[in-house]
Structure 1
Amino acid sequence: MSDKVKNRWLIAACGVGIHLSIGSVYSWSVFTKPLMNEYGWSLSGVSWTFSIAILFLGLAAAFMGHFVEKHGPRKSGIIAALFFGIGLLGSGLAINVESLIFLYVTYGVLGGIGLGIGYIAPVSTLVKWFPDRRGLATGLAIMGFGFASLIASPVINSLINLVGIAGTFYILGIVYLAIMLLSSSYLAPPPAGWKPKGYEENMEKRNNKSQDLSQLTANEAAKTRRFWYLWLMLFINVTCGIAIISVASPMAQEIAGLSAAAAATMVGIMGLFNGLGRIGWASLSDYIGRPNVYTAFFGIQIVLFILLPITTASLLFQLSIFIILSCYGGGFASIPAYIGDLFGTKQLGAIHGYILTAWAAAGLVGPILVSWLRETTQSYTLTLYIFAAAFLVALIVSILIRADIKKLRQKNKERVAS
């Protein structure tokens, strides 16, 4: 029997492969200037491609979560690969016919649907394979999404110079399609009743604190307060994080006096901390618990956002931004494990999909809000203070959810005792 059980670390590696592919969406800005220069398209026109892709990521994750649970990660991963791969190949065609609208449909809509399905398919499976290390497993895969741009950006830049924009899309489409199909082919949920070696003994040592508090369907979960607490915490963390990413370079130049070149370097290193935060915070959550990690995120960021407007020392300013980016990445990576803790693994993919609508909403709100506030006030100071206030709300929510968890634990104890 044990010979037939798949290797869970290989399953994790396949999850990383899928996320490294779809995470290339974070390299979209590399296409921006070449598209503007070659076709005379406006900055906002080109930027809409990315916004549409993130919007459809959230929508696809929400609507296809049930499909992932019903048909399994292998079939879901293959469908994600086809949508994402065809979206990229279609983007090459859109460039050849010089149609920005067609690019919205191919990269934004088709690619975005592939992003959403590809994002949740391996994550929900990994939570089931790693009941003992949920944070580590989901952190590994989602780290791939965060790190992808570090690999993809220089490759895309070189390819544009070598084969042009359309040629780059064609090559990326073929390569990512192959990686995602290969990775998806090995994905599978664990056999019914499977537990990793030594799991029961470790659970006893940890006083069963990492046991699932309930086993709910996605629709049942969405009717609970704790679901909406999670949604709001992710929304605030992502809104403020995406906003910082979108204005990091000009803000660093304005507040800390960085040169354009130094600010560009800082943006590159931000990607590294975004990725490291995903694996670091998610792994830490296995030891100190998901509630403590989220409370830490918000407490740290309240302090940093209050201090940022007066942090004129360039090294301190950059360090603050790097810590914020680690919390931003950590929020994404810890949420699937938190969902597993609170709602069980019965329909984890579907619940994760519902929660990711917070990402879609934040992707639209964050950059627009920070740009509007900057233009209205001619300063980033008020923006940063508003974000600090938002994190105060998130901190309160992270404390309220603990009360819900405590009540649920108490109910479970009473049920076991009776």
Structure 2
Amino acid sequence: MGFLDRSRTVAPPDWNRWLVPPAALSVHLAIGQAYAWSVFKPPLESALGLTGTQSALPFQLGIVMLGLSAAFGGTLVERNGPRWAMFVSATCFSTGFLVSALGAWTQQYWLVVLGYGFIGGIGLGIGYISPVSTLIKWFPDRPGMATGIAIMGFGGGALIASPWSAQMLESFGRTPEGIGQAFLVHGLAYAVFMSVGVLLVRVPAHVREREVVRSAINVSARNALRTPQFWCLWVVLCFNVTAGIGILEKASPMIVDFFKDTATPVAAGAAAGFVALLSLTNMAGRIIWSSTSDLVGRKNIYRLYLGVGALMYLLLALAGNSSKLLFVLCAMLILSFYGGGFATVPAYLKDLFGTYQVGAIHGRLLTAWSTAGVLGPLIVNAIADGQKAAGKSGPDLYTTSLFIMMGLLVVGFVANELVRPVAAKYHEPELEGASR
């Protein structure tokens, strides 16, 4: 384990800090494949006789495990360093695909759920938080931009994985054997790709790291959970993600339903293009808005995400079917705020709690994502199903859920306004004393 030890990753004095974001991207672009799981759903359903609900299980379990492994593994990531964390992430994520390949070949679907959802989900969580505190320490002057670059990769991973996976399924076939081959290639390719990050990542030299720590507030992950600031941010992240994922998960049928009874309905191909556009906006928002937060401040940028996001939902609810351009622009802004919220929150945590255990604190905060991943689709789908059963159609299927999303964003806006500097009683006294 010597190669993975934190002491073996200390950068030499002439190390270029701009090599660290590519190391983080090599992990985030890989684990961002999670957003492309839908490519495997139809082949699995036809090859293994699954329902739509069953074929969604690996993805749903993966997101749950992302939040749980990030929460419980955050302290280990801080203690053992980014190389160890990236190695664990690469091992779990790649192994998950290999176990899934075995499940597809033997037509044992529980192995696919175990592999991709449970084992791969652990890789998702550890990989997601692994570069965060390291990037913040390398870029104390621009933490929003630095973390935005890495987390942008998670949003953009599906843009690579979706066509790549679809092409493999065309080449290998949509049979159990073909799906198994596709999973096998994914596992091997991602193992190699993520290894680049494992080899490249470095932590700042000891003197520089101490200077960064001493210049900041220092709150432990344990103490952070006792502060109202942490729980205010938990609400902010949960409701911002709930609002964004509610549209993202239902984007294609939603735009079709909104313009179904108009003179120019939306075709299936155009709806698919709309989904791709939202993915690009999600990715772009992660770097653009998080970088902007370095200039305007974290609290102000979340006022934009939550306040303007609520107005966009109001416009969709009241006039969304009056203009395709209006609908698309509102949805694009909402998804850019969704992505920006993910990318900005590590820097917000750094501002409030310091760099001492920011990775572990970030991991615990990601339980808000797990909650939102269930809450957002549940609200939109349950209400749409209820309205359809009542005989309604078109925009009426979504109006109630749009108003609910607007209300959640308003609550998140209030929670953001309640954030204040962390009281001195939560600071680490030994670090405070060392800085004097």
Matched, 1:273 2:289: no
CA gap of 1:260–1:237, structure 2 versus 1, over 3 A, is same
Equivalent position SS for 2:421: helix
**Residues in 2 aligned to 1:128 and 1:2: alpha-carbon distance in whole angstroms:** 12
Matches within 5 A, 1:335-414: 335-378=345-388, 379-401=397-419, 404-405=420-421
Alignment of 1:19-418 (within 5 A): 19-163=28-172, 164-194=178-208, 212=216, 214-256=217-259, 257-309=265-317, 310-312=319-321, 313-378=323-388, 379-401=397-419, 404-405=420-421
Kindly indicate whether the alpha-carbon contact (under 8 Å) linking 2:48 and 2:109 is maintained by their aligned counterparts in 1: no
Q: Runs of 5+ in structure 2 lacking a partner?
A: 1-9, 173-177, 260-264, 389-396
Q: What secondary structure, in the 3-state scheme, does the structure 2 residue paired with 1:226 have?
A: helix
Q: Distance in 2 between matches of 1:166 and 1:406?
A: 50
Task: Give the Cα–Cα distance (whole angstroms) in 1 for the partners of residues 246 and 311 of structure 2.
Answer: 17
Separation (CA, whole Å) in 2 of partners of 1:217 and 1:141: 24
User: What's the offset of the Cα at 1:3?
Assistant: 5.1
| Structure-2-length-normalised TM-score | 0.87
Shift of the alpha carbon at 1:185?
2.0
Structure 1 residues 305-357: Cα deviation after superposition (integer angstroms, max 9, x where no partner): 11102222111101111111000000000001111110011111110000001
User: Does the residue aligned with 2:240 lie in a helix, a strand or coil?
Assistant: helix
Residues 14-52 of structure 1 show CA distances to partners (whole Å, capped at 9, x for unaligned) of 001100000011100010111112222111100111000
Deviates more, 1:183-192 or 1:381-390: 183-192
- 2-structure distance, mates of 1:342, 1:58: 21
Amino acid at match of 1:74: R
Deviation by residue 1:358-402 (Cα, 9 ceiling, x = unmatched): 01111111112211111123310000001101111111111111x
Runs of 5+ consecutive residues of structure 1 not aligned to the other structure: 201-210
Q: CA deviation at 1:239?
A: 1.1
Contact 1:72–1:188 under 8 Å retained in 2: no
Q: What is the TM-score when the length of structure 1 is the normalising length?
A: 0.91
Q: Is the 8 A contact 2:12 2:205 kept in 1?
A: no
Work out the CA distance in 2 between the residues paired with 1:135 and 1:300.
20
After superposition, give the CA deviation of every residue in 1:53-77 in whole Å (9 maximum; x if it has no partner): 0000000000100100111110111
**Higher alpha-carbon deviation: 119-128 or 280-289:** 119-128
Deviations 1:133-175 (A, max 9, x none): 1011000000001011111100000011112211111111001
Cα RMSD of the aligned pairs, angstroms, is 2.1
Q: Which amino acid aligns with 1:259?
A: A
Question: 1:5, 1:191 within 8 Å by CA — same for their partners in 2?
Answer: no
Deviation at 1:221, TM superposition (A): 0.7
Identity rate, percent: 41
C-alpha distance 2-83 of structure 1, shift in aligned 2 (>3 A): closer
- The residue type equivalent to 2:243 in the other structure is C
CA distance in 2, matches of 1:251, 1:261: 14
Q: What's the secondary structure of 1:345's corresponding residue? A: coil
| Aligned residues of 2:100 and 2:115 also touching (Cα < 8 A) | yes
Choose from 12, 28, 31 the match for 2:21.
12
Contact 2:11–2:204 under 8 Å retained in 1: no
Residues 5, 190 of structure 1: 8 Å contact kept:
no
How far has the Cα of 1:261 moved from its partner? Answer: 1.6
Point out 4+ residue stretches in structure 1 off by more than 6 angstroms: none
Aligned length: 397
SS in 2 for 1:326: helix
- Inter-partner Cα distance in structure 1 for 2:15 and 2:244: 37
Aligned counterparts of 1:186 and 1:44: Cα–Cα separation in 2: 40
Q: Please give the alpha-carbon distance, in whole angstroms, between the structure 1 residues aligned to 2:292 and 2:299.
A: 11
The one-letter code of the counterpart of 2:337 is C
| Rounded Cα–Cα distance in structure 2 between residues aligned with 1:3 and 1:373 | 57
Partner Cα separation in structure 1 for residue 52 and residue 24 of structure 2: 33
